[in-house]
């Protein structure tokens, strides 16, 4: 096994460690100390479970009660109906409040398992073992859990922190290239909103990252998690600064909802959303044109879409953007860039400037 890096998400009594290292998935010593008892329910999906479930179960040989729930893979299954499959197993098998849920999968599995843990008997323990780049750098860290509704993404959920996060870069070797690109959107986001040195590093190393250089991937995961952990520690419940982590997401969620969950991967929608947000930042007199181009170029280098879908016009996107958790009293709250490496939150009451900027961007192509 390669060297393991460990750091703590500092949230007082809700603090927890993040472990990052190749081969961690097979190492029980990082997992078992965080179990509340020898009673465990693993939640995975039908893509990940055939590859990694047995390896995880081997780490849990001391468990006296071990059950598994296998969900269907895909954003379109992240809903209340499928959430009930977890509750069904918990209740049928008569799990008590000492159960620990383990999420083995990507962001959908992690979000649903965390939400189930937050709700079951008013709160039980859970552990995140993310198996996609997107979940390793973003959704597994920070305690956001939930499911989608037909009218809006992640509109039903809870803030609920895990006992620990175990991120093994080696599991990314079985990740399709499209999923790797999708995860890279969140990595790029951290550089764009608050870490210009990281953004510069990503520009220099993106070709090797996309070829899955394990050492560089581990560094990208660690730096991304540290960036997120710093923001979450300052604003756990997103009452202020944490909203900057949604850079590109207001536009991206509109794309996901408008196209139908699963048509675009979350990271693909965020990639295009960041490019739109960068262009809107320029239109509002904030970001410099060359920095817009740098964001678009880096997203392209990561294999991400940089334009919204052709059949989703700006008016429809704006309509969908009005159903966003950041909005206050009907006013659109946008995360934009004042400069590369510095995000700002802008309350946008006059939407015509925004609408025109979105139309203009859709009509352009950055080379």
The verdict on 215 and 343 lying in the same domain is yes
Catalytic residue list contains 249: yes
Q: Which of 34, 78, 144, 279 is catalytic?
A: 144
Beta-carbon neighbour count of residue 148 at 10 Å? 23
Q: Is the Cα torsion angle 315, 321, 322, 328 positive or negative in sign? A: negative
Catalytic residue list contains 246: yes
Q: Which of 228, 279, 282, 294 is catalytic?
A: 228
The verdict on 220 and 128 lying in the same domain is no
The verdict on 145 and 218 lying in the same domain is no
Catalytic residue list contains 197: no
State residue 1's pLDDT score: 59
State residue 330's pLDDT score: 75
Q: Which of 78, 189, 249, 282 is catalytic?
A: 249
Catalytic residue list contains 268: no
Q: Which helix (H) or strand (E) holds 6?
A: strand 5-9
What are the phi and psi torsion angles at 68 (to 5°)? Answer: -135, 140
> How many Å apart are CA 321 and CA 323, to the nearest integer?
5
Q: Which of 54, 81, 94, 122 is catalytic?
A: 122
The verdict on 67 and 210 lying in the same domain is no
The verdict on 44 and 186 lying in the same domain is no
Catalytic residue list contains 29: no
Instruction: Supply 4's token pair.
Output: 């393991």
> How many Å apart are CA 78 and CA 250, to the nearest integer?
19
Is the predicted pLDDT of residue 247 greater than 90, yes or no?
yes
For the stretch 315-333, pLDDT in tens is 999 999 988 777 877 789 9
State residue 348's pLDDT score: 82
Catalytic residue list contains 94: no
- Helix, strand, coil % over all residues of the chain, rounded to 5: 50, 20, 30
The verdict on 52 and 112 lying in the same domain is yes
Quote the domain boundaries for residue 65: 5-174
Extended strands (E) in 89-194: 100-105, 125-130, 144-149, 152-159, 165-167
Q: What is the CATH number of the domain that holds 169?
A: 3.40.50.1970
What is this structure's pTM?
A: 0.95
- Which residues touch 151 (CB under 8 Å, ≥6 apart)? 257, 323
The average pLDDT across 251-265 equals 95
The more confident residue out of 38 and 329 is: 38
Of 174, 208, 225, the one marking the end of a domain is: 174
> Pairing between strand 144-149 and 152-159?
antiparallel
**Cα dist from 120 to 94, 108, 111, 268, 301, whole Å:** 12, 18, 14, 32, 43
Q: How does 254-293 read in b/e, with b if 16+ C-beta sit within 10 Å?
A: bbbbbbebeebbbbbbbbbbbbbbbbbbbbbebbeeebbe
Catalytic residue list contains 122: yes
Is the predicted pLDDT of residue 364 greater than 70, yes or no?
no
How many structural domains does the chain have? 2
The more confident residue out of 83 and 1 is: 83
> How many Å apart are CA 100 and CA 85, to the nearest integer?
16
Of 119, 141, 174, the one marking the end of a domain is: 174
Is the predicted pLDDT of residue 45 greater than 80, yes or no?
yes
Q: What is the CATH number of the domain that holds 189?
A: 1.20.1090.10
The verdict on 354 and 206 lying in the same domain is yes
The verdict on 92 and 114 lying in the same domain is yes
Beta-carbon neighbour count of residue 239 at 10 Å? 8
Residue 365 banded pLDDT, cuts 50, 70, 90: low
Of 174, 209, 234, the one marking the end of a domain is: 174
The verdict on 158 and 182 lying in the same domain is no
The verdict on 72 and 107 lying in the same domain is yes
The verdict on 98 and 215 lying in the same domain is no
Residue 228 banded pLDDT, cuts 50, 70, 90: very high
Residue 366 banded pLDDT, cuts 50, 70, 90: very low
For the stretch 95-150, pLDDT in tens is 999 999 999 999 999 999 999 999 999 999 999 999 999 999 999 999 999 999 99
**144 and 159 Cβ atoms separated by less than 8 Å:** yes
For the stretch 200-222, pLDDT in tens is 999 999 999 999 999 999 999 99
The verdict on 216 and 128 lying in the same domain is no
Is the predicted pLDDT of residue 22 greater than 80, yes or no?
yes
């Amino acid at each position: 096994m390669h060297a393991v890096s460990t750091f703590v998400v500092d949230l007082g009594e809700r603090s927890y460690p993040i472990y990052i290292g190749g081969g961690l998935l097979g190492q029980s010593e990082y997992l078992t100390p965080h179990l509340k008892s020898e009673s465990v329910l693993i939640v995975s999906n039908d893509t990940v479970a055939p590859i990694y479930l047995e390896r995880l179960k081997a780490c849990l040989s001391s468990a006296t009660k071990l059950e598994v729930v296998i969900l269907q893979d895909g954003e379109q299954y992240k809903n209340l109906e499928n959430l009930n499959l977890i509750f069904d197993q918990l209740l049928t098998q008569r799990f008590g409040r000492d159960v620990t849920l383990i999420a083995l999968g990507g962001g959908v599995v992690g979000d649903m398992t965390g939400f189930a843990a937050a709700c079951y008997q008013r709160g039980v323990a859970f552990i995140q073992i993310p198996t996609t780049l997107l979940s390793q750098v973003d959704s597994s860290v920070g305690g956001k859990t939930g499911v989608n509704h037909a009218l809006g993404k992640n509109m039903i959920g809870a803030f609920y922190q895990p006992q620990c996060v175990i991120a093994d870069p080696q599991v990314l070797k079985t990740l399709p290239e499209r999923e790797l690109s999708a995860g890279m959107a969140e990595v790029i986001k951290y550089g764009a909103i608050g870490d210009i040195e990281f953004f510069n590093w990503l520009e220099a190393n993106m070709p090797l990252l996309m070829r899955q250089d394990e050492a560089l991937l581990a560094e990208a995961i660690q730096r991304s998690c540290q960036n997120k952990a710093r923001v979450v520690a300052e604003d756990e419940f997103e009452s202020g600064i944490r909203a900057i982590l949604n850079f590109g997401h207001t536009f991206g969620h509109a794309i996901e909802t408008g196209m139908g969950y699963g048509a675009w991967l979350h990271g693909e929608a965020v990639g295009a959303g960041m490019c739109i947000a960068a262009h809107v930042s320029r239109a509002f007199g904030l970001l410099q044109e060359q920095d817009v181009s740098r964001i678009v170029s880096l997203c392209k280098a990561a294999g991400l879409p940089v334009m919204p879908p052709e059949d989703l016009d700006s008016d429809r996107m704006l309509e969908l953007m009005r159903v966003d958790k950041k909005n206050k009293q009907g006013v659109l709250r946008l995360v934009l860039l004042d400069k590369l490496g510095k995000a700002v939150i802008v309350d946008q009451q006059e939407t015509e400037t925004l609408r025109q900027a979105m139309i203009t961007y859709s009509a352009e192509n950055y080379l």
